[in-house]
Amino acid sequence: MIVVTGGAGFIGSAIVWRLNELGREDIIIVDVFDETEKWKNLIPLRFADVFDKDDFGHMLSSDFLKRFEVDTMFHMGACSATTEKNFDFLLRNNYEYSKYLCEKSLDSNVRFIYASSAATYGDGSQGYSDDESLLETLRPLNGYGYSKHMFDLWAKRSRILDRIAGLKYFNVYGPNEYHKGDMRSVVNKCYDQIKETGKARLFKSDREGIEDGGQRRDFIYVKDAVEMTLHFMNNKLASGIYNIGTGEAHSFRELVAPVFGALGLKENIEYFEMPEVLKSKYQYFTEADISKLRDTGFTQQATPIKDAVSDYVKNYLDTGYPYLSSTEIQKTIQ
């Protein structure tokens, strides 16, 4: 069996989708089903069972993992809002719960693969290397990033990084992020803006030498992120912390321009002032160093940004059924 926490969420449900494509249905999904509509991500997927996060936590106290012969746990569940200010909430959900799941997994000899985040790198002044010897030098800019950083540091202090895999996801975008509200990707938000007003809106730059829309991030399509993630299930010798990105930064304008192209429209971007509350916490540049990932034997190339955005728009956002689903279902709606 495979456990996917956050299995109804963005990356988690995409992992389940890809496992289904590979013929796997022996999957247990764990999540918190609040007032969002992320449950819709599950409709076209195939899995064995679904459990509430807290209920699952209690179940682990009774040798659940051994009884159900769980082989791998993908721990993708977390509060991922970079604007969350309740650090007690972040501490319980992103740190304490992660420690508990990790310890239970190791006790049962279960492969533990967890989501860290590029938000742990802060303003990038210390670079974007996933060298574990540099962990203590990082300074996250928000509570979310710090809660993820805390777990990375705990794993290092506990001397278990040689037994688990932590994945620092950079800017992931793609199908199944619809429930994320303001945390949706810029592609998703700009698609809605273009459909409603004919134009997309991006932040102005307040840094000398960087033009409006010229802020650059390592944007990675969720399908590529999932391929990298599953690599760590298949390659159990790869352990430690790894960046999950393309290794190449692109500007927000480069990210949004293909949305217009996919819709057959002329580019029309409006730039507006960045809110003051974000200015001190905003990453102007991120670019994953993925040499360590390559060293584990992962050779697949990331989808070019224009092709990835076009796939997202044409085959998901602009269809009547925008969720990741089996190849057969997807063909019927195109």
d(CA 18, CA 229): 11
What is the tens place of the pLDDT at every residue in 77-117?
Answer: 988 888 888 999 999 999 999 999 999 999 999 999 999 99
pLDDT of 283: 82
Q: DSSP per residue over 107-171, as a string?
A: HTT-EEEEEEEGGGGTTSTT-S---GGGGGG---SSHHHHHHHHHHHHHHHTT-TTT-EEEEE-E
Indicate which residues carry an active-site annotation: 144, 180
Amino acid at the residue 287: E
Alpha helices per DSSP H over 158-302: 186-197, 222-234, 252-262, 276-279, 291-295
Contacts of 282 (CB under 8 A, 6+ apart): 141, 203, 215, 274
Q: Are 119 and 81 in contact (CB under 8 A)?
A: no
One DSSP character per residue, 274-298 reads PPHHHHTT--SB-----HHHHHTT-
Q: What is the pTM of this model?
A: 0.94
What's the pLDDT at 327? 65
Helix axes 305-312, 252-262, angle to 10 degrees: 50
307 closest CA partner among 215, 221, 226, 247: 221
Identify the pLDDT of residue 328.
Answer: 59
Our separate counts of H helices and E strands in the chain read 13, 13
Instruction: Report the distance separating Cα 322 and Cα 325, nearest Å.
Output: 9
Give me the pLDDT at residue 208, please: 87
**Of the candidates 239, 72, 245, 60, which has an alpha carbon nearest to the alpha carbon of residue 155?**
239
pLDDT at residue 218, rounded to an integer: 97
Q: Which CATH class is domain 2-175+218-248+286-304+321-332?
A: alpha beta
- Give 253's strand partners: none
Instruction: Give SS3 for 30.
Output: strand
Residue 115 has what pLDDT? 98
* Segments in the chain below pLDDT 50: none
- Three-state secondary structure call for residue 239: coil
Residue 171: phi and psi, rounded to 5, are: -80, 95
- What is the residue whose two structure tokens read 């590979």? 22
Helix (H) or strand (E) holding 328: helix 327-332
Spatial contact of 284 and 210, defined as CB atoms under 8 Å apart:
yes
Q: Which structure tokens are listed for 290?
A: 């993925």
